[in-house]
Structure 1
């Protein structure tokens, strides 16, 4: 691989979310601020949407790290669940010892009791649901009913939905219109702008151990921005393939032609013919 060639200690452009490589972009920081304000205000539902690869899972991980000390977090990365399985998953996240054959009434009662205990101890319970666009309609409705659990002062649990734009279409279904009306805070993640792309590339290279200069020149950064449209996951794939192309030619700087080759070989990238 190209690690020794470029003086790297590890691959700088992996596609697995890694908070050690986090670059604070405007969109991500605004989204995180929205989440923290919503949690602080005690609102029931919060929604974050963004296209594939814009960093929703990474945002969720940043949020879990930035939670207030009095917060208890529950995280569901795969919400393609039936209503009952959702309750069981929530109970597991809350560390409740429940039998899998317990009936729905007593299962909900145990969850409600646990939430009341957290509220009495002045702890906030925050449920983060990633890939929420995959949640069946009947499960979304079950989630709305679950949000009815409250004291006279506040909701017993706050629910954060993170998903692709298809989530908005799903929430517009007449059968779950009441849930849409309960979303008090929402934010749409966008891609990186041209300046952010340059800082993003440089930061990830530094974290990966690079101590030189000029792997990605300004023209190359512009080419990567055009090809990826600022989408972080796509940018990582293109940067990785571009480094491979430069390494294959024995070069220590990536040129726009390497980006064009990478884009031609990558699904979802802007076609070189568009530049």
Structure 2
């Protein structure tokens, strides 16, 4: 069976050239809410000023990874980037993650001191070649006190007055709480730029939805105001949840041959139990299990 046909019909019905709401981070759909613009500005500021450590936090699905991908597209050619996603482990294991991310060959049985020397030699060689190295750690809330302290030690590698590696840590709000622990006082002192990416308000949700619809080839008016009220209420303004609910709502509208998603469309999605991210009726946080 051709599983792509329903998506083609869905797009043709609304006049889209691609799905406006997917769960895969896509910089082409990046929406610059005030919070996202500030978060990106702080990311860029940290990179341009060569801050030893930059930290960006936000709820699951708030758009952190999309911002990262946009940043990667804009970095100059002289920047070497090592990207680590969801790193875990303890002392020594993180150093192996770092070497892997930078594409450095090393002996897996080597001691910690040898591995550190291998990294230092690589950073010095990159610096001598006119390059600077940025190490980006995504899902950094999975690190612990020991590994964060290990990362801080990397920022002590320098040549004269120039630091040889910059760290960018991106993670969920727990990362912020972790960093503020008394044991990490020295780590905090190395943070030159930080920002917490908050969820969108009702106005931003409406602008976000319209933006993605237009980027996909639509008019931007495929959702009624009442429907957008419900989208904001049910998702708490978290972009990933907005994408889930809006995508399902477009499927339901297409099935009913309606070119505008109404509040009734949203209620039908809820009634059928196909949207698992709805905010609970008691005002709790969205369930993203």
Instruction: Tell me the TM-score normalised to structure 1 length.
Output: 0.90
- Structure 1 residues 178, 54: CA separation in 2 closer, same or farther (over 3 Å shift)? same
The alpha-carbon deviation at position 241 of structure 1 amounts to 1.6
Segments of structure 1 that go 5 or more residues without pairing to the other structure are none
The alpha-carbon deviation at position 203 of structure 1 amounts to 2.7
The alpha-carbon deviation at position 248 of structure 1 amounts to 2.9
1:219 corresponds to: 226
Where 1:47 maps in the other structure, the secondary structure is strand
Report if aligned partners of 2:133, 2:164 keep a CA contact under 8 Å in 1.
Answer: yes
The alpha-carbon deviation at position 257 of structure 1 amounts to 2.3
For residues 246-274 of structure 1, give each alpha carbon's deviation from its aligned partner in whole angstroms, at most 9, with x where no partner exists.
Answer: 22322111001222344563344235787
Q: How do 1:1-275 and structure 2 match up within 5 A?
A: 1=6, 2-210=10-218, 212=219, 214-263=221-270, 265=273, 266-271=275-280
Distance in 2, Cα, partners of 1:27 & 1:198: 15
The alpha-carbon deviation at position 206 of structure 1 amounts to 3.1
Query: Bigger CA drift: 113-122 or 34-43?
Result: 113-122
- Structure 1 residues 63, 3: CA separation in 2 closer, same or farther (over 3 Å shift)? same
Moved over 6 A (4+): none
Report if aligned partners of 2:139, 2:171 keep a CA contact under 8 Å in 1.
Answer: yes
The alpha-carbon deviation at position 125 of structure 1 amounts to 1.0
Query: Bigger CA drift: 106-115 or 66-75?
Result: 66-75
Query: Bigger CA drift: 192-201 or 11-20?
Result: 192-201
Query: Bigger CA drift: 117-126 or 131-140?
Result: 117-126
The alpha-carbon deviation at position 130 of structure 1 amounts to 0.5
Number of residue pairs matched by the alignment:
273
Distance in 1, Cα, partners of 2:278 & 2:220: 26
Instruction: Tell me the TM-score normalised to structure 2 length.
Output: 0.86
Distance in 1, Cα, partners of 2:128 & 2:146: 31
Over the aligned positions, Cα root-mean-square deviation in angstroms equals 2.2
